[in-house]
Amino acid sequence: MKTIYNKLLFLLLMLPFCAIAQSSVDGVVVDSKTKQPIPGVNVNVQGTQAGTSTDFDGKFKLSKLKNGDKLVFSFIGYKNETFSFEGQKTISISMVEEANVLQDVVVQVGYGSVKKKDATGAVEVLTAKEFNKGFNSSAESLLNGRVAGVVVTQGGRPGDGAAIRIRGGASLDASNDPLIVLDGLTLDYAVGGSNGVLAALNPNDIESISILKDASATAIYGNRGSNGVVLITTKKGAKGDIKITVGTTFTLNTLAKKMDVTSADDFRSFITNPANIAQYNISPTRIARMGTANTDWQDEIFSNSVSIDNNVSMRGALFGKVPTSFSYGHTYIPGILATSKFDRTTTALRLNPSLFQDHLKIAVNANLSVEKTRFADEGAISSAINFDPTQSVYSNSQQFGGYYQWLNASNAPEYEGVKNPVAMLEQRNNNTKAYRYFGNFQADYKLHFFPAIKATVVLGIDRQQGSGINELSNLFPDKNNVSSTGNFGGRNIFWNNRTLKLADVYLNYTKTFGKINVDVTAGHSYQERTSVNYSSGNTYNPANIINSQNTYKDYPRKLESYFARANVGYDGKYLLTLNYRNDITNNFYKDNRAGNFGGGSLAWIVSKEDFLKDSKSITNLKLRVGYGTTGQQELSSNFSYIPQYVAGNQTAQYQFGNSFYNTVRPSLYNNSLTWESTSTTNIGIDFGIFSRIKGNLDFYKKETKNLLAYVAYPDGANIGNYGPRNYGNLRAQGVELGLNIEAIKTANFNWNVNFNANYQDRKITALATDGTSAPGFNTGSINGGVGNQVQINSTDYEPNAFYVYEQVYGTDGKPLEGVFVDRNGDGKIDTSDKYQYKKPYADLTFGLMSNVNYKKWDFSMSWRASLGNHMYDNNASAYGYLANSVSQIVPLNNISPSFFQTGFVNEGNNRYWSDYYIKDASFIKLDNVSFGYSLTEPFGKSTSARLSVGVQNVAIFSKYKGLDPEILNGIDKSIYPRARMFVFGCNVNF
């Protein structure tokens, strides 16, 4: 017993010395060549859970170290370094860059990840340092111009989402949006009230974005992968102390360009000119209604605004054990168009604990966002370029709430005319809210008894609730809100709830057999989407009856899938990838529900062969070839195979005697509807030269069959005239080039240039109208007239080609009104003389980013270019004739400058379809210029900061004279203009 007491006493006496023996160390990690600090380096104590990462200045601190501990330093693109701790107080670690930085970059792929060097398909990855700089209100804007073959078109309204097109998309009328996967969770389409699929995600939370472009890579996603896949990885916690980052950005938003309009003085001069009065028969009563003001209506509706974006994040190990990340963000953007604004609050929590000696890894991702948006009546933009500039904004009369509006001869409101644009904005209150909770739970278990096998379970949910109230004052003249008792105004209420549930279970087997590496994944996926929608109609309308028909509940959309992928490598040089997916949907008739999609690709790393492995000039050379098929089922209508009857309302009743009964009518249905399928062939080369130039060159061809569309049916072919059908084939082929150039790299000065280019040719190869007299399917609705369209889908032509008459010009070079070429020579001008002319999509797109670092200064600028795209100038066609100004219902409208260029007087004569209005909209844009300065320890030890200033939407170089040459569908109807933004930012790390 005495011996035991002596041992316990000895241990108690030794405890303080053990504590003293545990030391701490401060250090810095730098590049071995440039001696520049490297932020984000992982510093781990070998064999333990302890660790940290370097801050913005490459500094780190570790505590509770014992002599003999091994510190392991790792960072993508650098060789790992190991340091033996022997009680040092400070250390400096130099890391050596790999010959090819891209070798260790991790690319997210379907249900897993691979290193860039082992990727066999057409995949790209962008990390945070490669994102667009400045203020990015949405995740899509991080990508704009950064990847070959990826075109991002973002709107101008505050918080507006963007359309992403990867290699042009694969469809015509069905969805062309890529599948977006966030940390393993498939994101659903946004509900009403939200600004887009990614509007709920804080861009500051994103760590990397992987883009899968060809079917050999996307086939594992089956029917959801035909338009490419965007895989987003968010920032996670790390081992070590909690680190806090605080960021604030102020942005001054200004109107970059105004529409060209006729000034009040010029308008007044033209209207009162005796020669013009005689020539154009301008009525004296109209002239008498001219005002005395000089109003620039664009100045009245547009103004500068200031946006504020605040972010706080905390990342590290919770309780010293659980890697944790928490972030909060708030964005407030008042629009440059009066009354428009966007307010978003986001929170995100991510936990990544590891248990059982890393055999069990858990990831919990939880996101909550609230979007509050006030949507302005964007019709006010058209009114601002059309309303009489001699009238004042306000009137002495209170009839319209103090705003000037046109009255007819009886002094009653003129409901059909152009309305006061300021009143359109101020007397409408259209507010929405969108709540979104999305996240998932993922567990990866590496079997103890068979560690080569890993089992993964992913459970995810994307829950959205959108609602809104759209109110219009009863003082605003709207004929839809008028009854015998007067103007009752407008109040429309809506809400919609949508939920997407996801459950994935899969196994992964990884093993090396000598020179052969095998990585096999197989699993099951289940997805269910439900939605409920409500719309009240005008609740101020006494005739409006609200009942059960105001609420619509969709059938649950279900998708069950089985998938598999195999990666096989031999000797690190010869790589094979095979993908397969079987999708079963309830959106088609039972005989067409199953779809099988697969893909395969091969790669040969030539630079590892004996004849190249020691080359100093060619540091990387990989050849790739792939083929795969994907599918599509996304249409505006679902369950079209089910025969349905629709109940009529009080306006569709049948009388029996003195009683009236609601009717029911059958709806169009199609039980032969089947999958749209896309096959893709891709041949690519990845290369590196002198360790300074890295790039890829890809050749691709996509063929889509059984195109899905909501189009017209031939007479008598179905119960209805319009509905979903498989109606054609589409082919797209192109070439992509991506370059990353380290132009200069020294101790104090670095210059990096990223360039990408894409050429694409698209053509429709078959349509259901082939063999008939119909030239194709019309599309592309325009302002002017009723139901007019100016585009067409026709076999052997580009999608959405403009379908117009060939304009004849006079000797003075001006177009002759109503005179067109008789292209078929039958002696008359009719629709058979129309022809397919130009298209809205570019032949060539380019992106260029230049980054310069000098000591603590940094500079970045981003350029984009689009060549070969054309625009239909709908502003000129809708308002560019004199009769619009002096012969309409209202006494006077402004004169479009287009009239002075053409001399067109009348509305008719097929003028809307003149190819004169098809304009070259090629452009070069300087998207972003940004300057920054980094401060070391501004608030004490282990702190850093960066101050930045910049300008976004800096300059546009284009022949197109409209507001902006970048409009997705190629029809300019007075879009919400993209603001020119002056950005001031500050980020501090603690």
Amino acid found at 639: F
384: Cβ contacts below 8 Å, ≥ 6 apart? 259, 297, 298, 300, 301, 421
Token couple for 520: 């096999």
Mean pLDDT of the chain: 90
Q: Is residue 95 scored above 50 in pLDDT?
A: yes
Token couple for 304: 């500068």
774: Cβ contacts below 8 Å, ≥ 6 apart? none
Q: Is residue 652 scored above 80 in pLDDT?
A: no
Handedness of CA 508, 127, 47, 30 (dihedral sign): positive
Q: Which helix (H) or strand (E) covers residue 566, if one does?
A: strand 557-570
CA distance 34 to 14: 46
CA distance 595 to 708: 15
Q: Is residue 102 scored above 50 in pLDDT?
A: no
Amino acid found at 545: I
Task: Report whether 520 contacts 580 (CB < 8 A).
Answer: no
Provide mean pLDDT across the span 225-253.
91
The residues pairing with 966 across neighbouring beta strands, listed in sequence order, are none
Lowest mean per-residue pLDDT among 130-134, 166-170, 683-687, 975-979: 130-134
Terminal Cα-to-Cα distance of the chain (whole angstroms):
53
CA distance 699 to 685: 9
Q: How far is CA 948 from CA 202, 745, 930, in A?
A: 20, 23, 7
Task: Report whether 69 contacts 45 (CB < 8 A).
Answer: yes
Q: Which helix (H) or strand (E) covers residue 5, if one does?
A: helix 2-21
Handedness of CA 744, 746, 750, 756 (dihedral sign): positive
pLDDT in tens, 593-632: 999 999 999 999 999 999 998 898 999 999 999 999 999 8
Q: Which helix (H) or strand (E) covers residue 423, if one does?
A: helix 421-426
Most confident of 108-117, 123-132, 429-438: 429-438
Burial of 346-363, coded b for 16+ CB within 10 Å and e otherwise, reads bebebbbbbeeeeeebeb
Task: Report whether 361 contacts 329 (CB < 8 A).
Answer: no
Task: Report whether 422 contacts 401 (CB < 8 A).
Answer: no
Give me the pLDDT at residue 99, please: 53
Give me the pLDDT at residue 642, please: 80
**817 or 53: which leads in pLDDT:** 817
pLDDT in tens, 324-380: 999 999 999 999 999 999 999 999 999 999 999 889 999 999 999 999 999 999 999
Q: Is residue 648 scored above 80 in pLDDT?
A: no
Q: Is residue 512 scored above 50 in pLDDT?
A: yes
High-pLDDT (> 70) share of the chain, %: 96
DSSP code at position 790: E
User: Given pLDDT bands bounded at 50, 70 and 90, which one contains residue 257?
Assistant: very high
Q: Which helix (H) or strand (E) covers residue 462, if one does?
A: strand 453-472
Nearest alpha-carbon partner for 891 in 413, 280, 406: 406
Task: Report whether 348 contacts 205 (CB < 8 A).
Answer: yes
749: Cβ contacts below 8 Å, ≥ 6 apart? 852, 853, 854
Alpha-carbon Rg for the chain, nearest whole angstrom, is 32
607: Cβ contacts below 8 Å, ≥ 6 apart? 613, 615, 618, 619, 620, 621, 622, 688
Residue listed under structure tokens 């309204």? 157
Q: Is residue 150 scored above 90 in pLDDT?
A: yes
Task: Report whether 187 contacts 501 (CB < 8 A).
Answer: no
The residues pairing with 544 across neighbouring beta strands, listed in sequence order, are none
Token couple for 94: 């130099």
812: Cβ contacts below 8 Å, ≥ 6 apart? none
Task: Report whether 743 contacts 730 (CB < 8 A).
Answer: no
Give me the pLDDT at residue 7, please: 42
527: Cβ contacts below 8 Å, ≥ 6 apart? 186, 500, 501, 502, 503, 558, 559, 560, 561
Beta carbons within 10 angstroms of residue 774's beta carbon: 15
Give me the pLDDT at residue 9, please: 43
pLDDT in tens, 830-869: 999 999 999 999 999 999 999 999 999 999 999 999 999 9
Give me the pLDDT at residue 582, please: 95
Q: Which helix (H) or strand (E) covers residue 920, if one does?
A: strand 918-920
Q: How far is CA 739 from CA 148, 694, 752, 756, in A?
A: 10, 6, 11, 6
Note the residue count of the chain: 990
Task: Report whether 23 contacts 65 (CB < 8 A).
Answer: yes
**988 or 87: which leads in pLDDT:** 988
Token couple for 222: 């089956």
Lowest mean per-residue pLDDT among 10-24, 663-677, 686-700: 10-24
Q: Is residue 123 scored above 60 in pLDDT?
A: yes
Amino acid found at 988: V
Task: Report whether 83 contacts 95 (CB < 8 A).
Answer: no
Token couple for 45: 């104590």
- Which ranges in 282-403 belong to alpha helices (H)? 284-288, 297-301, 379-386
Provide mean pLDDT across the span 733-746.
94
User: Given pLDDT bands bounded at 50, 70 and 90, which one contains residue 299?
Assistant: very high
Amino acid found at 168: G
**249 or 888: which leads in pLDDT:** 249
pTM of the model: 0.88
Give me the pLDDT at residue 22, please: 61
**246 or 52: which leads in pLDDT:** 246
CA distance 685 to 743: 22
Q: Is residue 282 scored above 80 in pLDDT?
A: yes
Residue listed under structure tokens 């790039």? 695
Question: 3-state class of 512 per DSSP?
Answer: strand
User: Given pLDDT bands bounded at 50, 70 and 90, which one contains residue 174?
Assistant: confident
Give me the pLDDT at residue 16, please: 41
Lowest mean per-residue pLDDT among 46-60, 121-135, 541-555: 46-60
Nearest alpha-carbon partner for 158 in 356, 309, 293: 309
Amino acid found at 832: S
DSSP code at position 403: B
CA distance 967 to 673: 32
Handedness of CA 22, 28, 31, 34 (dihedral sign): negative
Q: How far is CA 742 from CA 99, 268, 853, in A?
A: 13, 60, 12
CA distance 760 to 170: 13
651 CB burial (10 A radius; 0-12, 13-18, 19+): exposed
